[in-house]
Chains A and B, each alone.
Chain A
C-alpha cells in the first residue's frame, strides 16, 4: 500500500536558519515524489518533483530510496516560506497519495 508520513505537524525556525521538512513513504515499486505548498490564502501548488532534480525558491529535495525518504531542505529560511507543505507520492498509473502536511512557521 502507498503511504506518506510527515512526522511534524508544525515546524518553527528563525529567519536565516536551515530548515528540513521530513517526508517518508512506503511503496513497493519506484515512486515519484512531489512537494506541494499552500501559502496563506493561496491555492495548493506544486513546489518541486524529484524527477526534475531542481531547486525551487531555494528548496531542494533528494529521493533516498534506501531510507524511503524525500526530505525538503533549504539552507536559509525566509519569512515568506511560511506555509503548509505537503509531501505526495505517485505510483505508476496511480493517483497521488498526500501526507498529512507540515506547517512551517519562519519567525523574524
Chain B
C-alpha cells in the first residue's frame, strides 16, 4: 500500500516568516501534486512535478521533487495571511488517475 507522510500537520507562523512542508514516501510516484484547499471549497491544484530533482516556482512558493521521486517539499518564502489554508500533497501512479493524499498541513499565517 502506498502511503504519503506529510509534515508538519499544523503550522502557525507570523507574517513574513519562511516555512517548509514535507511529503515523504517509501514508494515511487510517477508524479506528485500539491493542492491548496480553503474552507468550503475543493482542493485547487498548485503544481505538478514529474521529474526526479525537478524544482518549480510559483511566486513565493517553491516545489521540489526528490531525485528518487519518493518525496517532495513545498517552501513558502515570506508567508502572508492569504497563504492560510490546508496544503495537500498527492501522489499519482501510472495511468490509473488515482491519487494518494498526504494527511495535509494546516497553515495559519498571522498578521
Do A and B pair up? The answer is no
- B residues contacting A by CB (< 8 A) are none
